[in-house]
Structure formats: structure tokens, C-alpha cells
Amino acid sequence: MSSLREGPAIVVRREDYAPPAFWIDTVDLAFDLDPAKTRVLNRMRLRRNPDVAPQALRLDGEDLNLARVLVNGGGCSFRMDGQTLVLENLPEGAEPFDLEIFTTCAPEKNTQLMGLYVSQGTFFTQCEAEGFRRITYFLDRPDVMASYTVTLRADKDRYPVLLSNGNLVDSGNLPDNRHFAKWVDPHKKPCYLFALVAGKLVAREQRIVSRSGKEHLLQVYVRPGDMDKTEHAMNSLMASVVWDEARFGLPLDLERFMIVATADFNMGAMENKGLNIFNTKYVLANSATATDTDFANIESVVGHEYFHNWTGNRITCRDWFQLSLKEGLTVFRDQEFSMDLCADPSARAVKRIEDVRVLRTAQFPEDAGPMAHPVRPDSYVEINNFYTVTIYEKGAEVVRMMQTLVGRDGFRKGMELYFQRHDGQAVTCDDFAQAVADANPGSELSRLLPQFKRWYSQAGTPRVQATGRFDAEARTYTLELAQTCDPTPGQSDKAPFVIPVAIGLLDAQGRDLPLHLDGGPAVAGTQTVVLSEACQSFVFTGIDAEPVPSVLRGFSAPVVLDMNLSDAELLHLLAHDSDPFNRWEAGQRLALRRALHAIRAEGPVHQEPLDEAFVAAMRAVLRHPALDAAFKELVLTLPAETYIAEQLDIVDPQRIHAVREAMRSQLAHALHEDWIWAYEQHRDNGAYRPDPVSTGRRALTGMALTMLCLAARDNGNPVWPGKAYQRFKDAGNMTDRFNALSALVIAGLPLASEALARFHGMFRQEALVLDKWFALQAGAPDRGGNILPAVRQLLAHPDFNLRNPNRARSVIFSYCSANPGAFHRADAAGYVFWSEKVIEIDAFNPQVAARLARALDRWKKLAEPYRSAAREAIARVAAKPDLSNDVREVVTRSLA
């Protein structure tokens, strides 16, 4: 992150990559930690890179005070080029030399939370992507890998715990009530993986023995009052260690693996070697304070950061354009981890549906908007703006397609070859794809590799048009698949992608037909074909009667599928598809069709947009004896407003909101008896366990309660509001309690304010619970424009703190990014609020501000008067002269 606010923004280009002119072999850092003025002594051993023509050494720095530079122990000449430290007269030749740099910085003034900062009296660091330069002058780029020795010195009472990467090799007392700790990291690493922590912390500890018989110490560090919320994180960490060894043969390569939680963090968590630093949101949980969603998130984030130890740390990125090399692959790995922890296939499918939902509601819009970029971008102004759903989630889909093309065993072989070739190196996305292909000669991936890699180079979501034709005489079913991809900024023409399409054909009874592709061998159930041309036909033979096609099973590629199935066909799939993803998808398509119909209709919004067939199908799913609760909850959840918006060329957010609310309320009334049944059937009273089965039951009861409260709001019957309030009070865990509270708030019932006040009183000491309390109110359905004034009041609440990213997100993002019906106001007041907050936050934390700036990404699709008002608000932000590079890049692209 650059706090440089002067001069034109510099565009960094992938094609300009050049290897570094110097290597840094070892780094010895000594810190005298003081919040006001921390001293950093950095002693490096460098040598010239023999492959690069001799040139000056240019070291990155940002907001540092430079006191001294010594080369081989003596004075030397240096100059500043902006914030870059330039040394021109360094020793010639291949011999290594010593460079010593002494600087100071002010951690307590570091509000952007990059580099060394203080959170609740404890020191933390955040170095990815370019934060290390805020700690000392360095070659702050991931292809420079060095061995680190770190000495920390600090006051003994205020900072009893002193941590850094690797192993603790020495510690002891110093004069003036100070002490020190010396850490040596046995692994070379890029500087973005450096970390230190110093403060008053306690640790949950666990010793484990890995398969090879080696002993390891696992630690989860938190503030003293939080020890009772560390069990789940530790369990997740142990499960991660076991899984990576079992599934990929990748063992823990450290004697000690530490996780530390901080309440002030811009992102979710960070994979620093051996010393992961986490947002408290992804560590702290117990049944009284955390919901099932929190438990699931902790499991996947702990897994994600742990898996980075191999995919990211042992093999890292050559440059930041390759970010998805580690992020896409590691998201894929954490998704597989969470799925593998599910005992039954239905729970796996639920996880897959949730992941696809994120992709479609967040990444597809990104891919269609002003910030669209390839999984491997070609240029950026501010790298922090490229930690996106495209890099992460679409990147994971690209890896998943590779696994689909080579099979699960083939993919494991690919991973093995990748580590054989590149362990200890900084490499590219090409290197990864090449390894997977080379390990699977003869596979479709290997045959089509250059074309497959268009997934890395071309932005935009491909559309696949599918048309089926049954020929009774020839007894064939022909599926014609055609692909297109719309232009994205800087890419007007797209070449065809390699798209694996998983297909099934259902007979009239809903059973999967055996498939013979072009007379080939029979395949039971699902056949995956590979679409690599603009248009291709696939002929299935031996088909006696017209089947119902189930296309793109399991969401086998990140594309939009256009297939004109009739309602009857979709209802057939919803009732019978053996592929749970497509079964869910059929329900979504039916709901979407009805939503779009009502949105496009003339006149006021129809209050009952649903027909009896749809309602009956939803009832059948809800009452189904064999489907599990989690899956039912997903089917009965209507498509999100943002997802509906993506299907339209001109978006009226108010009308979308009104239609979706009408659909939900119709389901609440039409299925009233069924919701009562579902609520009574699925409420558990046993001990809390965050397993998929009981999680699903709680999700479905929560949904039922919301529906019952919605109906009660309309008919004035106080029974269900009373029950919801009772459940809110009596709940044995946070999931049930928060679901009951949400039901009252969503339905806008009078009891909601009582419940909210009570909830605040119960949890005023629990920051993460208060975040939920704020988010629920800022994200509540708008009634006559009441949410914005409520949001302004929340900002004035004594517990609100704009500087804390979690708290800022809980109110401002919940309103601007997650509550379209309240944010898009005809009077433009939502946009005015947004522009004020972007500017206000940018002054102290550009990363958080730039994320918020993206809330209006899709303004060009808006109907009037929203469109003009949105453009004006963005222009108002862009007109500010002293914006950060982060926000500047987002608003400039948005207006382009």
C-alpha cells in the first residue's frame, strides 16, 4: 500500500518483469519495540545477481526515518529517489557484502495496519503484499528469498510474549525491566511472509506427532480473556495438518506452528511462515458467541492459511501478477478440505453450492464490471486492489477444472511434480499448469494446455449456450454447446476457452440414463465432455425416449449456462436430479424466471408473483423425507438481489427488492403449515455441535422462524413473534439466538427493538458479537427509507469505532454492499453517505476505503435516477485531490 499521495499513479505491468539485480541471502533484524518510536537494525548479506547487468541497488521504503547506512561496516554514499533508497557505489564482482541499515518508525501512528502496528496494546505486523518496506528498506518483492534471524527487545511487563517466524533460539532479561527473544527461521522466505508479535497474550497449546514421527508444537495465541474461544481453531488446525498429509502427502515442516489473533486486521488472515496472524473473527468461537457460519469460516480460514505453508510459502510467487498461483490453489485446497471433512456426499454438495453462490454473486459481477481482470492480471496501480474474488474464487475454479480434466489421482500426481520441480522457488501460474499437465500426459489438459491457459489470461465470464435435440428414429440425443465471452476493459475479443461440461440425462422416472457418447463406452450417470471450440455437438446414442438434460453438473466450469428448459423440465430436475448441485440449480432457475417476469412486468409489483406449481415444488422439497435440512434451506432460499440484478441489462434495485420480498412473503404464507412443521421437526435441544447435520437443522429452523414471523407481521397474530422472542431468550447457542433475533428484525416486529436492546446488554463485552448486532441492523430490510437514518445513528453509538475494520465493515459495508434495497435510494442519500465514508476512511486506511469504493462498481447498469446520482457520487470522490492510490484506481476505472 502506498501512502504516497503525490505524483501520477504508476502502472505496474507484468511484461516488465525483470529479475532482481541483487540477491539478499541473509537478514538479521533487531527490533527495539516502542509504540511511539521503534528502532530497527537491519543487517543483510547481499550479492549481485550474476545474470543481470550491474546496476544500482534500489531498496523500497515507506514512511521510515533513516538514521544510518553502512556497507561492510563503513560509511557509504547513498541517495533518495522519492522513498526509494539508492546505493550506486557498491563493491563490484560476485563477492557477497554486508549492508547495515538503521531506521525508526512509529507503530502507534500506523492506522493503515500495514507494516508494524499496535492493536489493543500489542504489536503486530502485516507485510503482504508490500508492507515490509514500512518496517525497513528492502527488496520488497516475492522473488527475493532470504534466511531470517530476528531479535526482539521490549518492556517485560507490557510485552511478555515476543514472537517471530521459526524457532526460538535464545531469550533472557535485559536492563531496565526489558527482555529479549531471538528467533531463527530455518526456511528461506520472501519478506512478505515475515512477522512479529509482541504483547500480553496467552496460548492454547497442543503437541502432535506427524506421520514421520516428528513432534510439533501447535499454539493459538489470544488475549487472556479469550482462551475459552480457542478450541475450535485448534481442532481445525489439527485437522488441517492431518488432511494435507493424507490428501497431498504434504507434512508440517516446522517444529512450531503459531496462530495469533488480532482485533484490528484489514483482511481475514495471513500465512506468515510459522506465525499466522488472524483476524479474531476467524479464530475466536464458542457456542455462546459464534454462529455455525462462524465455525465453518474458522475451519476453512485456518485450513487456508495452513495450506499456504506449501502452496504459497514453500513455493511462492515470482511477482504479484502470479497471486492466484498461491491464492486460487489454496482456496481450492481449503474448499476440498472442508468437503472432505463432510461425512456424507450431501454435505459435500451443500459446501459446493455455497462456494458457487459466492462465485456467482460476487465474482461474476466483478468479471462484468469496471474492475474486471484476468486471473493473472496484466497490470495494476495498487496491488492491494487485486486481492479479489477473481484471483481467489475464480482462480480456485480454474484449479478445480484442472482436477476435473486429469482426475483426482492425476491432480495429486500433478501436485507432486510441482513440488519436485519448484520447491523453494518463486514461480508462475504457467509453471503450475505445466506441472499438472506434464504429470498427466495424454490427458485433455495436456493436449489443450496452451488453450486451457486462456483461463489465466482472458477476463470475463464465458456464456455457454446449450441446445438439446432428440431424434427418435436415430435414437440419439444431440447436445449442441456454443460459447461466447463479452468484452472486458482492455480485451475486446476473446478466443474460445476449454470448458469441461458434466452432463447427465434423466428418463421420465427421473433416473440417470447410461450414456454412450458417439457410440463410445457406456458411462453410468455423468459424462464430462470438453468444449474447446466456439461451437461443438455431442451425440449420445441408444436413447429411446426424450430425456431431460442435466448440464454443468456440480458446476463443472465457472460459466453462465443458457439453456432453455421448460418449467416442466426444471421441475423434473428439482424433483429427481441425482446431482445435488443441479437439483438446487433447477429450483434457482425456476425462482429466477418468476422474479424476472415480475420485475419486467408493467405497473406496480405483483404481490403474489409465484404460481401454484412452484409453491408446490418448494413444499415438496421442504417436506421431502430423504433430503437433509441444509440442502432444503439452500433450495428454499431465493436468489440474492445482486444475482437477480446481474441477469438484467437495466437494474432498478427498488423493484428487484420489492419483487423478492413479495416472493418471500408469498412463500411465508402459502407454506405456513409447512414452516410450522419444519420448525417443530428440526429444533434440537441437545448439546451444541457444529457438525453439518445439526448445522443444517439450525439453518432450516432459523429460516422457518423468519417465515413465520413474516407471516405474523401481515396477519397481526402475536403467537410466532412471541415464540421467536422466547427462543431468543432461551437459546442454548448463538446460532439459534441470533436466528431468532434476525427473524424479529427482518420481519420488522415491535419485539425486535426489545430483543436488540437485550442482546446488546448481554454481549457488550464481546466485540465479535457486537459486530453482528451492528450488521444485522444495517443490513435489515428497508421500510420506507428507515435504514439510512438507523445507520447514521449506529455510527454515533458509543460502541462504534470507524478505525476498527471489523466494526466499520459491520455497519458501513453491511449497508452499502449488502443491503441494495436500502442503499439505492431515489433521493441519492445512500450514495452521498457512501462518498463521505470512502473519503473519511481513505484518510487513515486506504485498503478498507478502496473495498468500500467498490460498492458502486455496477453503477452503469442502474436505471435512472440511480445511475446519474451514482455517477455524481463517484465523481465527487474522484475530485478529491489527495486520494490514496488504492481508491484513486478504483474510482478512475469505475468512471472510465
Catalytic machinery residues: 305
Helix (H) or strand (E) holding 105: strand 97-105
**Shortest Cβ contact with ligand PHE: which residue?**
267
CB of 377 to Zn ion, least distance (A): 16
All three cell numbers of 249: 502427502
Rg (CA), the chain: 28
Q: How many whole angstroms separate alpha carbon 195 and alpha carbon 154?
A: 16
Toward ligand PHE, which CB reaches closer, 364 or 387? 387
Q: Which of 264, 271, 512, 577 binds ligand PHE (CB under 6 A)?
A: 271
Residues 6 or more apart whose CB falls under 8 angstroms from that of 857 comprise: 365, 366, 369, 370, 371, 894
Toward ligand PHE, which CB reaches closer, 264 or 271? 271
By CB under 6 A, tell whether 62 contacts ligand PHE: no
Q: How many whole angstroms separate alpha carbon 306 and alpha carbon 270?
A: 10
Instruction: Tell me if residue 624 falls in helix, strand or coil.
Output: coil
Q: Which of 497, 501, 486 is nearest to 540 (CA)?
A: 501
Q: Which of 270, 341, 399, 617 binds ligand PHE (CB under 6 A)?
A: 270
Which of the listed partners (Zn ion, ligand PHE, none) does 706 bind, with a CB threshold of 5 to 8 Å by partner kind? Answer: none
CB of 330 to Zn ion, least distance (A): 5
Q: Which of 449, 586, 428, 609 is nearest to 504 (CA)?
A: 586
CB of 334 to ligand PHE, least distance (A): 9
Which of the listed partners (ligand PHE, Zn ion, none) does 736 bind, with a CB threshold of 5 to 8 Å by partner kind? Answer: none
By CB under 6 A, tell whether 387 contacts ligand PHE: yes
By CB under 6 A, tell whether 133 contacts ligand PHE: no
Toward Zn ion, which CB reaches closer, 269 or 290? 269
Window of 77-85, 266-274, 585-593, 608-616 that interacts with ligand PHE by CB under 6 A? 266-274
Window of 268-276, 486-494, 671-679, 720-728 that interacts with ligand PHE by CB under 6 A? 268-276
CB of 365 to Zn ion, least distance (A): 21
Q: Return the ∠ at Cα 753 (arms to 750 and 754), rounded to 5°.
A: 95
Contact (Cβ atoms closer than 8 angstroms) between residue 273 and residue 289: no
CB of 680 to ligand PHE, least distance (A): 42
Toward ligand PHE, which CB reaches closer, 271 or 367? 271
Toward ligand PHE, which CB reaches closer, 392 or 688? 392
Q: Which of 564, 477, 563 is nearest to 513 (CA)?
A: 477
Toward ligand PHE, which CB reaches closer, 60 or 128? 128
Which residues inside 195-234 make contact with ligand PHE, applying CB under 6 A? none
CB of 813 to ligand PHE, least distance (A): 17
Q: Which of 841, 864, 844, 843 is nearest to 855 (CA)?
A: 841
Which of the listed partners (ligand PHE, Zn ion, none) does 870 bind, with a CB threshold of 5 to 8 Å by partner kind? Answer: none
Q: How many whole angstroms separate alpha carbon 463 and alpha carbon 559?
A: 6
Which of the listed partners (ligand PHE, Zn ion, none) does 126 bind, with a CB threshold of 5 to 8 Å by partner kind? Answer: ligand PHE
Q: Return the ∠ at Cα 552 (arms to 546 and 554), rounded to 5°.
A: 120
CB of 114 to ligand PHE, least distance (A): 8
- Please, where are the H alpha helices in 498-564? none
By CB under 6 A, tell whether 333 contacts ligand PHE: no
Give the DSSP letter string of 250-278: -----SEEEEEEES--SSSEE--TTEEEE
Q: How many residues bind ligand PHE (CB under 6 A)?
A: 11
Which residues inside 325-344 make contact with Zn ion, applying CB under 5 A? 327, 330
CB of 893 to ligand PHE, least distance (A): 20
Which residues inside 427-456 make contact with Zn ion, applying CB under 5 A? none
Please tell me what DSSP assigns to residue 718. -
For β-strands 145-155 and 189-190, DSSP reports them as antiparallel
By CB under 6 A, tell whether 886 contacts ligand PHE: no
Q: Which of 128, 319, 771, 842 binds ligand PHE (CB under 6 A)?
A: 128
Please tell me what DSSP assigns to residue 428. -
Residue 865 preceded by cis peptide, ω within 30: yes
CB of 749 to Zn ion, least distance (A): 41
Report the DSSP beta bridge partners of residue 561.
464
Instruction: Tell me if residue 372 falls in helix, strand or coil.
Output: coil
Window of 263-271, 648-656, 744-752, 874-882 that interacts with ligand PHE by CB under 6 A? 263-271
Contact (Cβ atoms closer than 8 angstroms) between residue 513 and residue 491: no
Which residues inside 869-888 make contact with Zn ion, applying CB under 5 A? none
Please tell me what DSSP assigns to residue 130. T
Helix (H) or strand (E) holding 506: strand 499-506
Contact (Cβ atoms closer than 8 angstroms) between residue 574 and residue 590: yes
CB of 323 to ligand PHE, least distance (A): 9
Q: Which of 856, 863, 864 is nearest to 838 (CA)?
A: 856
Contact (Cβ atoms closer than 8 angstroms) between residue 117 and residue 845: no
Burial of 563 (0-12, 13-18, 19+ CB in 10 A): middle
Toward ligand PHE, which CB reaches closer, 165 or 742? 165
Burial of 424 (0-12, 13-18, 19+ CB in 10 A): exposed
Toward ligand PHE, which CB reaches closer, 449 or 853? 853
Toward ligand PHE, which CB reaches closer, 390 or 835? 390
Which residues inside 309-328 make contact with Zn ion, applying CB under 5 A? 327
Question: For ligand PHE, what does the binding mask look like between residues 291 and 320, x meaning CB under 6 A?
Answer: -------------xx--x------------
By CB under 6 A, tell whether 327 contacts ligand PHE: yes
Q: Which of 267, 371, 634, 745 binds ligand PHE (CB under 6 A)?
A: 267
Q: For residue 312, how many other CB atoms are within 10 A of its CB?
A: 25
Toward ligand PHE, which CB reaches closer, 281 or 713? 281
Which residues inside 829-868 make contact with ligand PHE, applying CB under 6 A? none
CB of 274 to ligand PHE, least distance (A): 15
What single letter denotes the amino acid at residue 435?
A: A
- Write out the residues near Zn ion by the rule CB under 5 A: 327, 330
- Write out the residues near ligand PHE by the rule CB under 6 A: 126, 128, 267, 269-271, 304-305, 308, 327, 387
